[in-house]
Amino acid sequence: MTALVSPGTLHGVGVGPGDAELVTIRAARLIGAAPVLAYFAKKGRRGHARTIVEPYVRPGTEELPLHYPLTTEMSFADPLYVREVGSFYEAAAEALAERLSAGRDVVLIAEGDPLFYGSFMHLYIRLKDRFAVRITPGVTGFSGCAAAAGLPMTWGDDVLAVLPGTLSEDDLVARLKGTDAAVIMKLGSNFPKVRRAIARAGLTARAVYIERGSMDGEAVLPLADKIDDASPYFSLVLIGGEGRRP
């Protein structure tokens, strides 16, 4: 008689913004004990999350890279995004399900926090009703960048808006005018539009541009001092609040 195999547990583990020392104790423990370590990456690349956790991976761990079909920031409503990336997430979820069904725990690592603009969420919603899932939060990318810039983000009752650069310019302007502090993510090819929106909202003097916060090659400068439109994937703009202070 064949013994029944108990399904494994999916762990969504945030690994922080880039510095391996910003990985939590729980995350390091789970990564070190993982039967299967899964991570997202561009085709032909190791993946940033995998690079962060290098000190914690034990020899013999099965590694499961999940290679994105697209790497350019685009609107979620774009038909190409819906077709290509939707199919990718379905296939990735089934690759994890195969291992979980065999009784193996899977640790899926995510840059920053797994529930904050993370690809982990797309697999979570596909698997959470089939398998046990546990989530380990991580330091967000913008928290790492604010620390790198030494920029207080919210005072007293300031309101903070987190905005994707994929929004239209007019929408960005309206939302920037309606908040006290802001994080603007997903820059890339959207950066010129984001810079224009910040200028139209009258906030250029308060805006700080950060590349690769908490990583090697970190760069922090006032947005007004950035002379070109180049903006890599790991970059964002922060606008700190100026609200009530004691």
pLDDT value for 62? 98
Neighbours of 30 (CB within 10 A): 19
Residue partners of 198: CB distance under 8 A and separation at least 6: 172, 176, 184, 204, 207, 223, 237, 239
Contact 56, 28 (CB under 8 A): yes
pLDDT value for 77? 58
Tell me the C-alpha distance between 217 and 229, whole Å: 18
Tell me the C-alpha distance between 73 and 59, whole Å: 34
- As averages over each run of 10 residues, the pLDDT of the chain (246 residues) reads 81 97 98 98 91 97 92 56 82 98 98 95 97 98 96 96 97 98 96 98 98 94 96 95 81
List the domains of the chain with CATH numbers: 9-136 (3.40.1010.10), 141-239 (3.30.950.10)
pLDDT value for 244? 75
pLDDT value for 193? 98
User: At residue 203, what is the residue type?
Assistant: L
pLDDT value for 70? 64
Q: What sections of the chain are H helices per DSSP?
A: 25-33, 48-52, 79-80, 86-101, 120-127, 141-149, 169-177, 191-200
Tell me the C-alpha distance between 143 and 140, whole Å: 5
